[in-house]
Structure 1
Amino acid sequence: MKIELSQPFFKERIAIMGIGLIGGSLARALKRNNSVGKIIAYDQSEEALQKAYELGVADEIYTDPIKAAENADIIILATPITAMGKIVKEIIPYLKEDAVMSDVGSTKGSVLESIKAEVGYLPERFVPAHPIAGTEKHGVENSFDSLFDNRRTLVIPHLENSHDAVRTIHEMWKATGSETEEMGVKHHDQVLAATSHIPHLLAYATVDTLANLDDRAEIFRFAAGGFRDFTRISASDPELWTDICLQNRESILEVLVAYQKKIDLLKHALEDQERETLSKVFARAKHARDNFYKEP
């Protein structure tokens, strides 16, 4: 579903629950485009909240999720995905009748399951979403207002969703400079397993493997650009990515099976010096990369 903005998007109060890189960048982008009156920030960390306030990312800060959410027009969950269900249960009795909730989580099936388990149903005004943007850094101090420019945000409606709430989330993300598309829950988790979760898992595994070799100091000292590019994401928050991998483990395991088969094929090709096999795999990969991936 393509949503066009018929008029400038604006909401008086938007609460961001978890004020890190993504939540902070969302706040900055909305402020940059004059799309929000006040940003209300909730976080368990008083230090993070204070940074957000001092940087001008948040206008009001709370360690109490109810106080942060109770008068908000939109509530965005940017906490760890394992905390989202409990937060929804805690705040939902205190929300405005027309308030819209959403999230920025990298998995969707587990988030919806946790909300349903905690609340007993899927709220019609909770609209799952996932901006496909980020860096290996974390913390509100590393947030910036152009993170979502020309990036995609996936909006993942569930069957109980209010059409008005879905439209509101499309409009909010468009106001950040993002393009929006819709996708089903299961398909989202499968696609993200292949394009984001597996690359992170492999980057961590590569660096951890090399770090345990006897000559690791020399290996890292002479590492060139290709190594830095491939392993950059292994500098991401380990706790965050542990949660993501465990919460989307079924989809990740499906992709890992296919990946392991390809690794085995290459291993045997090297053992048997099968130049043609290696060349064909590399050529197919180059063709796919050149033709299917376009820089945003």
Structure 2
Amino acid sequence: MNKICIIGVGLIGGSFALGLKNTRKIEIAGFGRNEAHLQQAQKLGAIDTYSLDIARALSGAELVLIATPVNSFKNILELIKPHINDRIIICDVGSTKGSVIAIAKEVFGAMPPRFIPAHPIAGKEQNGVVAAEGSLFNNKRVILTPTDNADTQAIEYVSECWQALGAKVEIMNDKIHDDLLAMTSHLPHMLAFSLMDYLIQSHSNALDYAAGGFKDFSRIASSDATMWRDICINNPNEIVKHIAGFQQSLDKLSNLIKEGKAKEIKQLFINAKTARDDWLNE
């Protein structure tokens, strides 16, 4: 490929661009609504050119990466639809996949064969292109959720792009993806956000007494609020299901504490520590 267009040159889009530039010679064009942000991305070397006109940004592009919040996807796809031909590959980086596929089918009438949904399981609590880094996806999983009619060459090319950034690419059904990520990514963010909400509602000075453990646990509450709002709106059933499941786990621990069952409490903690230590050592 000679040219890629990135819509939304923030943390993920910018990191994709920087990483790709380290592996091959390719023109990367940026598109967005905020010219100052695009100028900043160009200054940082994430993109070569930019345009506020989608037709100009997409002109000559062979792949378009959508790296905007999921709630913007319908507007984005409607915007690019008149300029998409059968040769252009479309990819995204959204944290929910079922909703992305449903939106694409709504806009295009059917899922375009060369639209390959993707989710890089990587990020930071910081956002924006200033936080972008080309090594962000190194040794991180990227899950592709192509539909049954997906073009095999498009799948291969998207896979190769992510692998060039050091990512471990995996193909998965979108429903399985949304359920797994609701547990491992969406739920922890809900816990961090709700913990902060609980503290500030319960005691105005509580944070004055928070130390390293609280800092570690609450780190992801600094994540982008708009992005996480969109994830909640686009994966509500799975997130609510796992919040309820976690509440049962909290109730179990609460009952053990109330009943003074020291042995059982310790065993629960040992099991949790062992599972986490094993995961870290994989």
Cα deviation digits, residues 206-240 of structure 1 (max 9, x gap): 111112233x43x3233222111111100011111
Number of equivalenced pairs: 282
Query: Is residue 188 of structure 1 aligned with residue 181 of structure 2?
Result: no
- 1:6 is aligned to none
Deviations 1:259-294 (A, max 9, x none): 011111111122222212312221221222122444
Aligned positions of 1:65-144 closer than 5 A: 65-144=54-133
| Matched residue, 2:228 | 241
Q: Deviation of residue 119 (structure 1)?
A: 1.6
Residue identity matched to 1:236:
S
Partner of 2:10: 20
Partner of 1:61: 50
| Alignment CA distance shift 1:199-1:144 (3 Å) | same
Structure 1 counterpart SS, 2:64: strand
Contact 1:70 1:96 in 2 (8 A): no
Determine the structure 2 residue equivalent to 1:288.
Answer: 275
For residues 157 and 91 of structure 2, the distance between their equivalents in structure 1, rounded to whole angstroms, comes to: 10
Spell out, residue by residue over 1:75-134, the C-alpha distance to the aligned partner (whole angstroms, 9 max, x if none).
Answer: 001011112233223313323432111000000001111111122110000001111110
Aligned positions of 1:156-167 closer than 5 A: 156-167=145-156
Distance in 2 separating the partners of 1:69 and 1:36: 18
Which residue of the partner structure matches residue 7 of structure 1? none
Q: 222, 225, 232: which one pairs with 2:209? A: 222
Deviations 1:138-192 (A, max 9, x none): 0011111110111111111111100000001000101111111111100000111
2: CA distance, partners of 1:67 / 1:280: 61
Matched residue SS, 1:212: helix
Give unpaired runs (5+ residues) of structure 1: 1-10
Structure 1 Cα separation of the partners of residues 235 and 150 of structure 2:
23
Q: TM-score, normalised by structure 2?
A: 0.95
**TM-score, structure 1 as length reference:** 0.91
Q: Which runs of 4+ in 1 moved over 3 A?
A: 292-295
What is the root-mean-square deviation in Å for CA atoms of aligned residues? Answer: 1.5
Q: Which runs of 5+ in 2 are unaligned?
A: none
Whole-angstrom distance in 2 between the partners of 1:112 and 1:38: 28
Q: CA deviation at 1:258?
A: 1.2
Match of 2:30 among 24, 41, 50: 41
